């Protein structure tokens, strides 16, 4: 039988890979077409995907409180996603990605410490190494000067994602997919209201961009599901930090597909991430 902590590590890493792939797809799509169109399309498709899985595995209908937590998580998460995609499209990815990822991890880490106490010493060391890895992988250090204005969007993104982590962790054990469907319904509804208030953002994405939008939605939904499973199998802080390694997938895909060069700090970050996983799973 697989140890629950090892299972949590596996789910967390699967979440990071899935989220990073979704961010790569969504980030490329956002550079080519309307932001709100990308986010609404990906959120709606991801919600449909999650609902089909819930029906397929015959997950019981959860209690109303689980649905409320899911809806609140969806609103927090989509606000973070809007800030992240806007930041990636308008700002320097080497600033936006690491700041958002580290804030995403730090918020639930402090909550996890308060609710569950400190983890084992080697796991605590692993959490610290993982935070350094997130920063290095995302390309930090190449940017010499960062303005206060440039930090606004990534800080908003990290706070939104961190609250998503915390709220999803509050869902009852065994309730995975239906609370995430509630999250998508809430996020799509809020996005529709926001888009109606912004006439300039009502243009529909071109058909040629639908594949990227669809991939963003499927992988983002997969990341959500894996993270929910990780928090039910293990600690919130460990799941949050390992899942926050998602920039590694984004960076590696940019290297493989867009032929972007990886810097020495990024390669060091990959090594630090592997070391962190060993320490946390030990």
Q: What is the mean pLDDT of the chain?
A: 82
Tokens of residue 226, six digits: 């894996």
Task: Summarize the confidence of residues 24-51 as an average pLDDT.
Answer: 84
CA distance 175 to 70: 10
Q: Which residue has the higher pLDDT, 3 or 61?
A: 61
Do residues 102 and 244 touch, judged by C-beta distance below 8 A?
Answer: yes
CA distance 48 to 54: 10
**Spatial CA neighbour of 71 closest among 172, 153, 213, 171:** 171
**Spatial CA neighbour of 277 closest among 16, 1, 23:** 16
Write the CA distances from 164 to 22, 40, 211, 234, 253, integer angstroms: 17, 18, 26, 17, 25
Give the pLDDT band of residue 94 (cuts 50, 70, 90): low
Please give the pLDDT value at position 145: 54
CA distance 219 to 18: 5
Q: Tens digit of pLDDT for each residue in 205-249?
A: 667 778 888 898 999 999 999 999 998 888 888 888 888 888 778
Q: pTM score, two decimals? A: 0.82
- How much is the CA Rg of the chain, to the nearest whole Å? 18
What lies within 8 Å, CB to CB, of 136 at 6+ separation is 265, 266, 268, 269, 272
Q: Return the percentage of the chain with pLDDT > 70, whole number.
A: 87
CA distance 194 to 197: 5
Please give the pLDDT value at position 1: 46
Greatest CA separation found in the chain? 55
**Spatial CA neighbour of 82 closest among 161, 183, 157:** 157
């Amino acid at each position: 039988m697989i140890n629950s902590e090892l299972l949590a590590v596996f789910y967390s890493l699967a979440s990071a890979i899935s989220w990073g792939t979704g961010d790569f797809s969504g980030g490329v799509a956002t550079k080519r077409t309307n932001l709100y169109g990308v986010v609404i399309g990906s959120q709606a498709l991801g919600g449909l995907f999650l609902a089909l899985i819930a029906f397929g595995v015959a997950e019981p209908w959860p209690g109303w409180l689980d649905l409320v937590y899911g809806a609140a998580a969806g609103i927090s998460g989509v606000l973070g996603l809007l800030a992240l995609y806007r930041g990636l499209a308008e700002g320097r990815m080497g600033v936006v990605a690491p700041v958002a990822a580290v804030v995403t991890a730090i918020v639930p880490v402090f909550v996890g410490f308060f609710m569950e106490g400190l983890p084992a010493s080697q796991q605590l060391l692993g959490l610290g190494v993982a935070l350094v890895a997130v920063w290095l992988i995302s390309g930090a250090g190449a940017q010499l000067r960062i303005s206060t204005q440039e930090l606004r969007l990534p800080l908003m993104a990290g706070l939104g994602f961190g609250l998503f982590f915390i709220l999803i962790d509050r869902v009852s054990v065994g309730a995975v997919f239906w609370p995430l469907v509630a999250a998508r319904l809430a996020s799509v509804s809020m996005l529709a209201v926001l888009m109606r208030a912004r006439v300039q953002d009502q243009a529909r994405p071109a058909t040629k961009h639908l594949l990227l939008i669809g991939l963003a939605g499927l992988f983002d939904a997969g990341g959500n599901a894996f993270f929910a499973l990780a928090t039910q199998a293990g600690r919130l802080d460990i799941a949050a930090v390992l899942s926050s390694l998602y920039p590694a997938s984004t960076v590696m895909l940019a290297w493989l597909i867009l032929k972007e060069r990886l810097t020495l700090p990024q390669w060091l970050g990959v090594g630090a991430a592997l070391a962190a996983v060993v320490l946390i799973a030990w």
